[in-house]
Amino acid sequence: MKKQRFVMRAVILLLLLAAVGYTIYSNFFTEKTEIKVGATAPDFVLTDLNGKKHRLSDYRGKGVFLNFWGTWCKPCEREMPFINEQYKVYKQQGVEVLAVNVGEPKLSVQKFVDRFGLTFPVVIDREDQVMNAYEIDPLPTTFLIDKNGKIQAIITGTMTEEKVNQYMESIKP
């Protein structure tokens, strides 16, 4: 009985030490990309609702309208139809939209996409890794990324259709 408790305590202690070690390592020894205007947008790969993988760096040469959103977010809901309408105009001019849902179930996201008839790629950040890398707070937040992968602007809050139009125009290649 005593030996069993000792082994259990030793295992718990080792797990705690491993967690502390990992935390220290990840905070001090991994490269952090500063998210600001003029910086290169951090690359990522996320999967859309159809199972297709989207890598941000594959969009080099195009302007990217990178929008972080949630189905429960009322401001996100208001701007999605505007983004969709402007995407129809600017897609042929070299502007892509990537809408990153922040970790919701696929079914919820699909219902939202169907309800609004969204035609641009919608990907899900299941473990919030991309959201954390981009330091997202609050929703919606949009990054305007130029053809070279540089962040041109960071917009937080709801956009009007006129603003969406101006922003897409500003990142045309």
User: What's the rounded Cα separation, in Å, for the pair 40 and 55?
Assistant: 14
Using CA atoms, how far residue 124 sits from 50, 112, 159, in Å, is: 11, 13, 21
Element (DSSP H or E) covering residue 96: strand 95-101
Whether the per-residue pLDDT at 26 is higher than 60: the answer is: no
pTM metric for this prediction:
0.81
pLDDT tens string 71-93: 999 999 999 999 999 999 999 99
Under the banding of pLDDT at 50, 70 and 90, the label for residue 146 is very high
pLDDT tens-digit profile of 106-133? 999 999 999 999 999 999 999 999 999 9
Q: Answer whether the bond into residue 140 is a cis peptide, omega within 30°.
A: yes
At 30, is the pLDDT very low, low, confident or very high (cuts 50, 70, 90)? very low
